[in-house]
Amino acid sequence: VKRESLNFIEQLIENDLNSGKHQAIQTRFPPEPNGYLHIGHAKSICLNFGLAEKFNGKCNLRFDDTNPEKEDVEYVDSIKKDIKWLGFEWDGEHYASDYFGTLYGFAQALIKKGSAYVDDLSQEAFNEIKGTPTVPGKHSPFRERSLEENLLLFEEMKDGKYKNGEKVLRAKIDMSSPNMHMRDPILYRIRHTEHHRTGNEWCIYPTYDFAHGQSDSIEHVTHSLCTLEFEVHRPLYEWLIKELEIFPSKQTEFARLNLSYTVVSKRKLLELVEGKYVAGWDDPRMPTISGIRRRGFTPEAVKTFIKKVGVARRDGITDVALLEHAVREDLNRRCNRVFGILDPVKLVITNWPEDKEEVMTAVNNPEDEAAGTREMLFTRELYIDRADFMEDPPSPKKWYRLGPDREVRLKYGYIIKCTGFDKGADGEIATIYAEYDPETRSGQDTSGKKVKGTLGWVSVKHAVHAEIRLYDRLFHTENLNDIEDDFKNHLNPNSLEINDKVVLEGSLKNAKVDDLVQFERVGYFRVDEDSTADKLVFNRTITLRDNW
């Protein structure tokens, strides 16, 4: 691998391997099971698993499950499903809660060294003595308790003698440190709450800072990668490992992924789910992995996107159009083209015999010869899209499609000429009439005719009726990190439009959930899980037009 093509974390790893600091690398992806994964997590997943693959190391999945109030097995299961969908497999599967016993022992060791103490100050009282970055804090009156008293009180905390908030265990570091995280941070707090894995075994739980780095160390994680907001936690991460004299995992930070027109924060996404602003975590408008999967994005496209974003140490916002571009490119390669008519109007070929059905051959994917061809039945009554007809069109140079006396080709079929139309009571075109030219069969045209317009069509007799869900951006504001009001004020009220009048060519009769297709000239669609035996439901993954 060329050195210049490595990002800064890869360079660091290469140095550590070349210098013999590590024989092999160990990374981990450490989600808290308090929500579904989003596209931001995909960056961390691709990074941690990708590095292990690239350098022949290992990557663990570790659930940082130290906040029992907010966590649930539903989230654990969804996280595993999403990682697998992205195409990664973890080496070890671990839970910070599996280490609660070890962590308790670590805390006792700190107390015995005089590096931790039980504090009775309430959160508010501590905040009053904590100071500010420029004003040193004062010591808690409980800071100088004896080792014996601290050990006893800590054990009583564990045994359930105290109520929530009555006592905490703090690291004894430096109340005048310019880094506020070093001013006697909390290591353990009391929570009389059932945990989704340990039940009621514990009523004290370690804080993020105490659990995270120690879990890394227990697993011999060599490179602990996290987002930039944890940079200020690094001195504490290192202090704890040094005090405990345990395996020296090293923390390195990278910029989090932010995406335009959406939010990547589990807390905010949970708010959308709970407030029923969306249909659930997997609503196709959500930036969750489960949402984009249901929408029709592919893991390959997501990974291409993450690769293009790259790894850096500067926070920024990535244009969602870059993700959409990757999706379009991938779907263009993999999807068969079919005819789907969003706004159907009937077209009758008056010189075509009543019951005649002629087999036409359609190309499945012009980008992929191996995708082959399919048969389509051409009949007297067809559907075309209302948008392809104009009652009073401008000159043929400006309007290639159908209009009175105009000729177009029905793709894979014949050239037809419009001979008239009827209107319904509502004034809308109800039926269009045309005649076909028998000498113009697609592939066997002997007429010498040239027409510019080519239209999609669906045989009325063989049409499959479907519902499509057209999605637009969930928010109408580009940068949701910049706003001062409630992010929910920025929701796009028109992010979902349902059309249940769609007709599809007969070949889609057997479409299955998760199938991806391109409706010619319309967009890419995925068959949704809401489909029933009577009605197919398609999600529009993305339009054809690229504005990247």
Task: Choose the one of Mg ion, ligand ATP, none that binds residue 287, judging by a C-beta under 5 to 8 angstroms depending on kind.
Answer: none
* 226 or 470: CB nearest ligand ATP: 226
CB of 37 to ligand ATP, least distance (A): 8
Task: Choose the one of Mg ion, ligand ATP, none that binds residue 488, judging by a C-beta under 5 to 8 angstroms depending on kind.
Answer: none
Task: Choose the one of Mg ion, ligand ATP, none that binds residue 264, judging by a C-beta under 5 to 8 angstroms depending on kind.
Answer: ligand ATP
CB of 64 to ligand ATP, least distance (A): 6
Residue 508 corresponds to which tokens in the numbers above? 């889609």
How far, in Å, CA of 521 to CA of 379, rounded?
22
Instruction: Say whether 166 is catalytic.
Output: no
How far, in Å, CA of 171 to CA of 116, rounded?
4
- Taking CB under 5 A as the criterion, which residues in 422-451 touch Mg ion? none
Q: Which of 143, 256, 268, 374 is catalytic?
A: 256
* 32 or 505: CB nearest Mg ion: 32
Tell me the β-bridge partners of 119.
Answer: 168
Instruction: Say whether 428 is catalytic.
Output: no
Q: How many positions of this chain bind Mg ion (CB under 5 A)?
A: 1
Task: Choose the one of Mg ion, ligand ATP, none that binds residue 227, judging by a C-beta under 5 to 8 angstroms depending on kind.
Answer: ligand ATP
Largest CA distance in the chain: 102
Q: Which residues contact 116 (CB under 8 A, 6 or more apart)?
A: 107, 110, 150, 169, 170, 171, 172, 187
Task: Choose the one of Mg ion, ligand ATP, none that binds residue 112, judging by a C-beta under 5 to 8 angstroms depending on kind.
Answer: none
Residue 378 corresponds to which tokens in the numbers above? 């051409």
Contact 258, 283 (CB under 8 A): no
CB of 365 to ligand ATP, least distance (A): 34
- State the SS3 of 461-519: CCCEEEEEEEECCCECCCCCCCCCCCHHHHECCCCEEEEEEEEECHHHHHCCCCCEEEE
CB of 114 to Mg ion, least distance (A): 30
Contact 335, 527 (CB under 8 A): no
Q: How many CB atoms neighbour CB 336 within 10 A?
A: 18
Q: Which of 158, 266, 337, 401 is catalytic?
A: 266
Residue 269 corresponds to which tokens in the numbers above? 């996404």
Instruction: Say whether 32 is catalytic.
Output: yes
- Taking CB under 5 A as the criterion, which residues in 8-47 touch Mg ion? 32
* 60 or 140: CB nearest ligand ATP: 60
Alpha-carbon torsion (127, 133, 134, 140), positive or negative: positive
- Taking CB under 5 A as the criterion, which residues in 335-364 touch Mg ion? none
**Residue 286 burial by Cβ neighbours in a 10 Å radius (0-12, 13-18, 19+):** buried
Contacting positions for ligand ATP (CB under 6 A): 30-32, 40-41, 43-44, 226-227, 256-257, 264-267
Q: Which of 32, 71, 219, 520 is catalytic?
A: 32
434, amino acid identity: A
* 32 or 520: CB nearest Mg ion: 32
CB of 93 to Mg ion, least distance (A): 18
* 269 or 464: CB nearest Mg ion: 269
* 7 or 227: CB nearest ligand ATP: 227
Angle at 309 between CA 305 and CA 310, to 5 degrees: 120
φ, ψ (nearest 5 deg) of residue 342? -75, -35
CB of 219 to ligand ATP, least distance (A): 14
Note the residues at the interface with Mg ion (CB under 5 A): 32
Q: Which residues are catalytic?
A: 32, 256, 266
